[in-house]
């Protein structure tokens, strides 16, 4: 039973309970029918040992030269564009568990498959949904859902300020960023634009010039990333928001940053607050914007001063 079905049954149970309370005792037939249905619902809810999570999904639509109104889309472009987008999502999802190599297959690629489940009308495009080889509990996390959100955020960041782009790129692996750039290049080469809808969140490119600007903003010349080692002390760690503050020994500057998903339990970092240590961070800079820091590894517990 998926979450939508479970919530529907809960709502129906509540409604039936109210309706039964309003039916006179002497109206035996109506009460019997509703009581029977209520019993069936109660049994279904009692047997729902695990509520399935709804699959992550995205609505990807296109306009421009390869699109013939709402009638169709050139197959060659459609296949290239969807493949470039799904490769972006797969790279983003894979990078949540470990840094990606610059070349070679994306690790565990089969875990991040997207299915085309429908065409999206209006302008023309596709509705895609993550593949579920088995039922997933509502509490089970989804790498694809997070990757879709981050991919969309990165696309939105290319339309914003340097600081907004840096915020969206700071937690994205360089290879994933390049995959997103490749998707935009597929659009530009075919004089097309797109809209990406994830839930209620929408990112829209309105003209090919905007797409080309986003490509430049994702280039390595503009979006610069480098690994640095900083000596100093943690001042605080927020495990739930996966954020940290760190005082750099050489300058006494306190930097703030995010904690990589590869660090499974950020709360352990609170055990080394105010102890001298060296951290490994990815520093992301965009244009003239301020740097963003991503903690890549849990550091040693203690260093000698």
- Summarised one tens digit per residue, pLDDT across range 49-77 is 555 667 899 999 999 999 998 889 999 99
pLDDT of residue 148: 96
Which residues pair with residue 233 across a beta bridge? 247
Contacts of 254 (CB under 8 A, 6+ apart): 235, 245, 246, 247, 248
Beta strands in 131-198 (DSSP E): 192-198
Percent of the chain with pLDDT over 90: 60
* Average pLDDT of span 158-185: 94
Please write the tens of the pLDDT for every residue from 82-113: 999 999 999 999 988 887 888 888 888 888 99
What average pLDDT does the segment 261-276 reach? Answer: 91
- Return d(Cα 225, Cα 213) in angstroms, integer: 19
pLDDT tens string 121-170: 767 899 999 987 666 655 566 889 999 999 999 999 999 999 999 999 99
pTM (2 decimals)? 0.76
Task: Domain 224-295: give its CATH code.
Answer: 2.40.50
Of the candidates 273, 271, 277, the residue with the CA atom closest to the CA atom of residue 232: 277
| Range in 26-30, 93-97, 253-257, 285-289 with the lowest mean pLDDT | 26-30
Q: Is the pLDDT of residue 252 over 80?
A: yes
Distance (Å, rounded) from C-alpha 203 to C-alpha 262? 28
Does the pLDDT value for residue 305 go beyond 50? Answer: no
């Amino acid at each position: 039973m998926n979450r939508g079905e479970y919530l529907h049954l809960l709502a129906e149970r509540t409604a039936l309970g109210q309706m039964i309370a309003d039916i006179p005792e002497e109206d035996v037939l109506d009460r019997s029918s509703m009581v029977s249905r209520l019993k069936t619902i109660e049994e279904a809810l009692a047997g729902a040992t695990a509520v399935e999570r709804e699959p992550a999904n995205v609505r990807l639509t296109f306009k421009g030269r390869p699109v013939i109104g709402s009638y169709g889309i050139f197959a060659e472009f459609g296949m290239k564009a969807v493949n470039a987008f799904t490769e972006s999502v797969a790279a983003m999802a894979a990078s949540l568990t470990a840094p990606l190599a610059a070349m070679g297959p994306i690790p565990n690629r089969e875990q991040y498959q997207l299915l085309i489940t429908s065409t999206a009308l209006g302008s023309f495009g596709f509705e895609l949904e993550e593949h579920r080889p088995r039922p997933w509990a509502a509490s089970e996390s989804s790498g694809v859902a997070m990757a879709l959100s981050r991919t969309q955020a990165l696309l939105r960041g290319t339309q914003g300020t340097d600081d907004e782009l840096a915020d969206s790129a700071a937690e994205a692996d360089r290879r994933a960023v390049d995959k997103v750039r490749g998707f935009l290049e597929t659009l530009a080469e075919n004089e097309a634009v797109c809209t990406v809808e994830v839930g209620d969140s929408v990112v829209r490119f309105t003209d090919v010039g905007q797409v080309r600007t986003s490509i430049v903003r994702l280039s390595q010349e503009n979006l610069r990333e480098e690994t640095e080692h900083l000596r100093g002390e943690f001042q605080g760690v927020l495990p739930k928001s996966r954020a940290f503050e760190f005082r750099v020994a050489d300058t006494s500057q306190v930097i703030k940053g995010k904690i990589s998903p590869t660090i499974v339990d950020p709360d352990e970092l609170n055990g080394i607050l105010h102890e001298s240590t060296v951290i490994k961070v990815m520093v992301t800079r965009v244009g003239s914007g301020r740097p963003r820091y991503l903690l890549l590894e849990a550091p040693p517990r203690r260093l000698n001063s």
